[in-house]
Amino acid sequence: MLDSHCHWNDDTLYPERNEIFKRAVEAGVTTFLVVGWDVASSKKAIEIAHEFPGVYAAVGIHPENLEGCDDHSLEEIRRLSFDPKVIAIGEIGLDYHWFSEETERQKQQTWFIRQIALANERNLPISIHARDASQDTYDILVEHRPNAGAVLHCYSGSPEMEERFAKLGLYFGFDGPITYKNAANPKAAVQACPLDRILTETDCPYLSPVPYRGQRNESSHIVEILNAMASLKGIPPKAMEENVANNFMNLFHVKL
């Protein structure tokens, strides 16, 4: 099994990363993508990736972390992207949830586009964070195609938008919310997702699945997410596991 989006570089998980790795491997989760959200967390993701087998890194600047970012920050991300353990640029994208001002949203769009350009220059796929910004995310991806592929992480948008994103060749990552009883949107999104585009992720330390909801999340909980995904799709967990592994290899060009 694999966790295609986790934050062991977060302060709450970083000191315990040895135990987190161990518990995950014991649970059968053996591949991990640790994702950065700014320059410092991207550096940390790379550091962690070099500590453990099966751990990879994504480097990038999240739309909520643009304050103080300048050309130098982008150059740093570019420099980091040359590390052999880096398999993606991310997480990058748009988050309009807390940002209602047009100038702020434009700044997010500019940085999203700049980092897609960087990914294309480096021939790396991107990991996208899109919150309350489906249409603008779509429009940017149409105009600035990520040439090496992309995943919409923690997808919970409408099945209609999902179909349009799928037509662009995107992958979709699903997390703990697909196990929540009343989470109709994430469940519907899994059901509408093409099997060859689906990925498991925890986004730990956030979004713990049932029965750990409300507690700190960690990568061993992929088991609950994979099982929920398999039952929503009506296929055996083992078949879903193999399917997800193939999708991960196709998107990130990593041999598992």
Nearer to Zn ion, 162 or 203 (CB): 203
- CB 7 to Zn ion: min, Å: 6
| Cβ atoms of residues 48 and 58 within 8 Å | no
Half-sphere exposure of 87 (CA within 13 A, CB side): 22
Nearer to Zn ion, 174 or 230 (CB): 174
- CB 212 to Zn ion: min, Å: 17
Residue from 51, 63, 56, 138 nearest 93 by CA: 63
- CB 242 to Zn ion: min, Å: 25
The long-range contacts involving 171-174, CB below 8 angstroms and separated by at least 24 positions, are 171/197, 171/198, 171/199, 171/247, 171/251, 172/197, 172/198, 172/199, 173/4, 173/5, 173/127, 173/199, 173/200, 173/201, 174/198, 174/199, 174/200, 174/201, 174/225, 174/229
| Cβ atoms of residues 3 and 27 within 8 Å | no
Residues in the chain: 256
Nearer to Zn ion, 217 or 220 (CB): 217
- CB 91 to Zn ion: min, Å: 5
Nearer to Zn ion, 203 or 224 (CB): 203
Nearer to Zn ion, 203 or 218 (CB): 203
Question: Judged by CB under 5 A, how many residues of this single chain contact Zn ion?
Answer: 1
The 152-191 site mask, x for binding Zn ion (CB under 5 A), equals ----------------------------------------
The DSSP letter of residue 227 is H
| HEC assignment per residue over 125-182 | CEEEEEECCHHHHHHHHHHCCCCCCEEECCCCCCHHHHHHHHHCCCEEEECHHHHCCC
Nearer to Zn ion, 203 or 241 (CB): 203
Nearer to Zn ion, 91 or 162 (CB): 91
**Separation between Cα atoms, residue 125 and residue 5, nearest integer Å:** 13
- CB 235 to Zn ion: min, Å: 27
| Contacts of Zn ion in 193-222 (CB under 5 A) | 203
- CB 36 to Zn ion: min, Å: 9
- CB 5 to Zn ion: min, Å: 6
Q: Which residues here bind Zn ion, judged by CB under 5 A?
A: 203
